[in-house]
């Protein structure tokens, strides 16, 4: 089904974003649903990315060395990939009892853009998303940041965020865009799960000033938007608030 939806996209597309645990829905029984990085879903992502010549990303349940991870996969058309393991596990629902926390952020590079990948509950913790100094050990493969340049340009959250707490979802997505002077893409699921929990979607794309470029409620939707680097650069130049940010480092254990 997801393959059909992706194949229905007619616009020129660089990146396709799927929700959190897109292949299973959110689950607290990873031992029944987990795959390995050689499993069927990752192989499907490789094939789809190669066939459509896109970058495909979303999170799934991965088992590795006896541990379970809520893992975002950043799949390139050539079959290479990066991974981000969800740092903040939703203890309110017991996620911390079943999944291992990630320890590193992943900031991917795409044609001059830097993209920070995060998952659902991470949204509630602004320090984890904050643009950091160049000496931070959490950014993979990127150097020369700090006050000379913001660390990343786009922040992506994939989620299973229920309607009962949707006000927080919308408010925090706006906050992350404004405080980090970046585009924010929040992709949330819709419909009801097996526990009768309703998800209203309300996926959003937000510009660095907090202006909402796209949102949709209670309707499954496929939407394409083109982000303008010139718009981002202009905002950062006109309002260089990022230069006044506090220096800090993040350490994860």
Tell me, letter by letter, the H, E, C secondary structure of the chain: CHHHHHHCCCCCCCEEECCCCCCCCCCCCHHHHCECCCCHHHHHHHHHHHHHCCEEEEEEEEEECCEEEEEEEEECCCCCEEEEECCCCCHHHCHHHCCCCCCCCEEEEECCEEEEEEEHHHHHCHHHHCCCCCCCCCCCCCCCCHHHCCCCCEEEEEECCCHHHHHHHHHHHHHHHHHHCCEEEEEECEEECCCCCEEEEEEEEECCCCCEEEEEECCCCCCCCCCCHHHHHHHHHHCCHHHHCCCCCCCCC
Question: What is the average pLDDT across 187-205?
Answer: 95
Examine the pLDDT at 63 and tell me if it is beyond 60. Answer: yes
Residue 250's pLDDT band (cuts 50, 70, 90): confident
Under a CB-based contact definition with an 8 Å cutoff, are residues 223 and 109 in contact?
A: no
Residue ranges making up the domain that contains 25: 2-238
Q: Looking at the domain assignment, is residue 134 inside a domain? A: yes
Provide mean pLDDT across the span 221-238: 96
246 falls within a domain: no
Share of the chain above pLDDT 90, in %: 87
Q: Is the pLDDT of residue 21 over 90?
A: yes
- Tokens 């996209």, residue? 9
How high is the pLDDT of residue 134? 54
Report the CATH number that the domain containing residue 39 is assigned in CATH. Answer: 3.60.110.10
Confirm whether 99 is domain-assigned.
yes
Tell me, yes or no, whether 165 lies in a domain.
yes
Domain count for the chain:
1
Residues labelled catalytic: 20, 86, 120
Within a domain: 231: yes
Torsion of CA 95, 157, 37, 85, to 10 degrees: -50
Q: What are 44's two structure tokens?
A: 């499907």
Residue 4: burial class (beta carbons within 10 Å; 0-12, 13-18, 19+): exposed
Q: What share of the chain is helix, strand, coil (3-state, %, to 5)?
A: 30, 30, 45
Could you tell me if 250 and 127 are in contact, meaning their C-beta atoms sit under 8 angstroms apart? yes
* pLDDT of 55 higher than 50: yes
Over residues 150-162, mean pLDDT: 97
What is the reported pLDDT for 249? Answer: 79
Higher pLDDT, 7 or 143: 7
Q: What is the pLDDT of residue 115?
A: 98
The mean pLDDT value for 63-84 works out to: 98
Reply yes or no on whether the pLDDT at 226 is more than 90. Answer: yes
Q: Is the residue at 174 inside a domain?
A: yes
Q: Is the pLDDT of residue 218 over 70?
A: yes
Residue 243: inside a domain, yes or no?
Answer: no
Q: What is the mean pLDDT of residues 203-230?
A: 96
pLDDT averaged over every residue in the chain: 93
Q: Is residue 249 one of the residues assigned to a domain?
A: no
Q: Output the pLDDT for position 1.
A: 85
**For position 192, what pLDDT does the model report?**
95
Please give the Cα distance from 232 to 5 (Å, whole number): 30
pLDDT digits (tens, 9 = 90+) for 105-152: 999 999 999 999 999 999 999 999 999 765 555 544 444 444 568 999
pLDDT value, residue 145: 44
Percent of the chain with pLDDT over 70: 93
Question: What is the pLDDT at residue 252?
Answer: 72
């Amino acid at each position: 089904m997801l393959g059909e939806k992706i194949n229905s996209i007619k616009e020129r597309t660089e990146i396709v974003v799927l929700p959190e645990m897109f292949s299973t829905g959110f689950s607290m029984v990873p031992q029944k649903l987990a795959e390995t990085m050689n499993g069927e879903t990752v192989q499907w992502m490789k094939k789809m990315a190669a066939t459509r010549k896109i970058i495909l990303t979303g999170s799934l349940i991965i088992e590795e060395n006896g541990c379970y991870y809520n893992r975002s996969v950043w799949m390139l058309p050539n079959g290479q990939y990066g991974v981000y393991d969800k740092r903040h596990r939703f203890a309110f629902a017991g996620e911390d009892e079943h999944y291992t926390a990630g320890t590193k952020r992943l900031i991917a590079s795409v044609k001059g853009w830097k993209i920070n990948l995060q998952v659902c509950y991470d949204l509630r913790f602004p320090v984890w998303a904050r643009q950091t100094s160049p000496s931070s050990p959490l950014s993979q493969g990127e150097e020369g940041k700090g006050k000379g340049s913001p660390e990343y340009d786009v922040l992506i959250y994939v989620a299973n965020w229920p309607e009962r707490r949707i006000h927080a979802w919308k408010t925090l997505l706006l906050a992350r865009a404004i405080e980090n002077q970046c585009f924010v893409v929040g992709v949330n699921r819709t419909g009801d799960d097996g526990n009768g929990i309703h998800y209203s979607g309300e996926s959003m794309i937000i510009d660095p000033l907090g202006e909402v470029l796209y949102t949709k409620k209670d309707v499954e939707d496929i939407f394409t938007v083109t982000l303008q680097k010139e718009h981002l650069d202009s905002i950062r130049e006109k309002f260089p608030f990022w230069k006044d940010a506090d220096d800090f480092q993040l350490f994860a254990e």
